[in-house]
Structure formats: C-alpha cells, structure tokens
Amino acid sequence: MRFATPDEWLRHLEAIHPSEIDMGLERVSEVADRLDCKKPAPLVILVGGTNGKGTTSALIAALLRAQGKRVGMYNSPHIHKYNERVSVDGSDISDSDLCASFDAVEQGRGDVTLTYFEFGTLAALWHFSRQELDAVVLEIGLGGRLDAVNVAEPDVSVVTSIGLDHQDWLGDTVEQIAYEKCSIARKDKWLVCGQENAPETAAQTVSEIGGQFAARGDMFSAEIRNDGLTVQYMVAGQSRRLTFAKYGIPHHNVATAVQALALIDQLPDDDVVTAVVADLRVAGRWQCWQRDSATLILDVAHNPQAAGYLRYHTKDLDCLVLGMLKDKDVAGVLKALPPFKTLYTVSLTGWRGQTSNELAEKCESAGFTVNQSFETMSDALGHIPDQGVSLAAGSFHTVEAAGDWIANRGPEWNSI
C-alpha cells in the first residue's frame, strides 16, 4: 500500500491532477471498467439535484435499512472527516478500508489522470462492490451528466430539485441545469423529479434518453397541513397517501424518496415509513441545539433555494452567523432566509473562501446591515444572544466550524 493514512492519501489525491474539476466521464469510466465497480450492488440508486441530495439519500438508505437490507451510501462533501462520505449501514468506512480502496484505484488507474472527486468516487464504488450489499445510494457531486458518480449503473435515478447553482459549470438558466441534472436518467428506468413545475427540459431530457419521468405535482405531491405532512404517491398504478405527524426534513424530500422507492417496489409498510421519517436527522441540515433560553441552528443553506426552505421551520431569527464561499449568491441567500435582527459575518479559508470583511461588503451591497465581522466561528458564536434563535449557515465549512465549537463546549449545549 502506497500510503499508510487517509490524510496521506488525500494529499496525494490533491496533487495528482492540475484541476479540482475536470468535467467528462471517459477517464472515470475507463478506470471503473478496470475495477469492475459500475454495478456495486444488486440495487443502485443515483440521487442528484441542486438541494436536498444528502437528505433524500439518507432517507432512502434509512428506509431500505429498515427492511433489513445491507446498504452502502456515498455522499459529499463531508462535515468533519472524509470517511463520512462512504458508509455501510450507517457506519463510516474505517481508515484501513479507505486506504485499501484508494490503493485499489491507484493500482487500477495506471496512467489515467483523476481529480480528487473522481478518485474518491471510484474508491467508494470499489469498496461497495466488495461488501456484499443489497443496495447502494450514490449522491451526485456536481450536475449529473458529466459527474463521476454517473458512471454507475442505476435501477432508478432521483433529481431532488432544480435551481441555479454552479453556473460556471452547469449553465446560466434552469433549463440548462435541468438538462445536466436529468441526464442521470437511464433507458427504461424511472427518473423521479422532486422539483415542482420543473423546466420542460427535465422531462424532455429523460424522454430523449428513453427513461420514464415521474414529476412532483403530477405523479406525486407533498402538502403541509395543520395535522402534519401529507404525501400522495403512485404504486402499481394506484394512488396512495401517507400522513406524517412528525418530520424533521423538507417535505418535498420525503415525498421524492417515498415515490422513488414505491416505483421499484422497495417501499416498506406505512408504519415503518412514518417512524423512519420522524427519527431521521441529517448532519448539517436543520441541526438544533439549546442552552437555557438560547437556540442555535446549523444548516448549510448555501444557495437561495436551500435558504428558502428554512422558512418552513422558523419565521424569524434573532441572529444570523454567515460564512460563504466567494462564488455563492450572497444576496440571494440573504433575501431567501427568514428575517433576522442581527447579522455577523465569518471568514472562510481555502481557494474558494472569502474574508469576513469581503462577505460583509457583499451583504451591505445587497441592502443588509452587518453588525460585526469575525475572523473565526468561535469568536462569532461567542457573541450570539443568550436567548432567542440564532442560525449558523452559508456553507459546509461554516457548519463544520460551528459543530466543532459546540463539541468543544461539552454539555453546555444540548441537541434537540
């Protein structure tokens, strides 16, 4: 084995390709064929979309595990540790297995160049192919058509939502982005789209591939009522209905996951579905902590569509702690979030990061008053109110730093 630790391998992955992103499937497909890992389990589910990929993937995997199935899941990015990206039955891959998977890809790639994400995706597929799994749920990283995960051979594909994000790579219109994302469809297979009133190019793309299109608002729906969430979906040509008195994830993600599994006859009994949905929590998505009269919420909310979902949970905020990458839509996120009384900005490091002062200038330009700018999340969270609701949002890096701050404060904050 070339390297002994995941950190050594990850440094190697960062160094072997000149670009972080190199769109195209030819290189990845060639290595995947050599490793024989395009179909790593009898049931393969691809999950793409602008927002909700991680939540929907987690729910699909949980519903499959609730039936006694052995399930692998691949998602990105991670919050604290790379191992979080590759899991089997909810347990992250071990350091030794991760190193072995990286080594297998290194041996298999020969002189083929791979990006960091491509290398990691192939390592996950190779690992899953050797775990005797019943199913794998694979989250698309960026776009869909040219994303490395799209080399896998799915039995059903899911596009959770279609919104503007990563325009430099995917296009400047939702029609273009719909084409990129819905290109994970396969001939004679279902693609379930959770975007209500999806662009025409979504259904058109699936049709041109030869797949079957299941759209929210047409085949299935999600409606929030006083008694909870009602999901209507189709199974074996019949309309069915499920009501959820308790759910901690976006309603449309619940409906999309339910419809996807129903179409491939993998949905468990109603009581199992409602129990799984009630208990599911996903790292970085509406994580709530409490200390006396203060509540702190962590949510990635890194684009306007994701930020807008938070309005389903809360009407206003006492304090917003914001850290965002420089290529994100700051104005759009601020306008989509629930109203807030106080705004703090925090610096993010890395090649896409920006300082708190740079972020503050964008906030002010968008018409929002910044009360204070901080270099670290620790400093910012040390100044949140002792009562009311505060939100730390804007990036996976923001959520990671906030989570670390909470962990270091021990029992002072309680998860709710």
DSSP H helices, 36-187, are: 53-65, 95-109, 116-128, 167-170, 174-182
* Sole residue written with tokens 């890992």: 37
> Chain centroid to CA 28: how far?
22
Percent over 90 (pLDDT), the chain: 74
- Model confidence at 411: pLDDT above 80: no
In terms of C-beta density within 10 A (0-12 exposed, 13-18 middle, 19 or more buried), how is residue 408 classed? exposed
Q: C-alpha distances in angstroms, 31 versus 111, 119, 148, 175, 186?
A: 10, 10, 11, 32, 21
Cα–Cα distance measured from residue 253 to residue 123, given in angstroms and rounded to the nearest whole number: 28
Looking from the CA of 243 toward its CB, the CA atoms found within 13 Å total: 5
Cα–Cα distance measured from residue 282 to residue 268, given in angstroms and rounded to the nearest whole number: 20
* Sole residue written with tokens 């084995």: 1
- Omega cis (within 30) before 77: yes
Q: Average pLDDT, stretch 206-234? A: 94
Q: C-alpha distances in angstroms, 363 versus 39, 228, 389, 396, 398?
A: 46, 35, 21, 19, 17
> What are 231-240's contacts with CB under 8 Å, separation 24+?
231/255, 231/258, 233/258, 233/259, 233/262, 234/259, 234/262, 234/263, 235/262, 235/263, 235/265, 235/267, 236/265
- 371-393 pLDDT tens trace: 999 999 999 999 999 999 999 99
- In this prediction, residue 169 has a pLDDT band, given cuts at 50, 70 and 90, of very low
Structure tokens at 140: 């698309």
Percent over 70 (pLDDT), the chain: 96
Task: Determine the angle formed by the axes of helices 95-109 and 6-15, rounding to 10 degrees.
Answer: 30
> For position 351, what pLDDT does the model report?
75
Cα–Cα distance measured from residue 384 to residue 344, given in angstroms and rounded to the nearest whole number: 9
Q: Which residue has the higher pLDDT, 225 or 338?
A: 338
**Residue 314 host element (H or E):** none
Cα–Cα distance measured from residue 227 to residue 402, given in angstroms and rounded to the nearest whole number: 33
Task: Return the top range by mean pLDDT from 73-82, 118-127, 220-229.
Answer: 118-127
pTM for the model: 0.86
Q: Name the average pLDDT for the chain.
A: 92
**Residue 13 host element (H or E):** helix 6-15
Task: Return the top range by mean pLDDT from 8-22, 160-174, 330-344.
Answer: 330-344
Structure tokens at 168: 């430099």
**Residue 287 host element (H or E):** strand 287-291
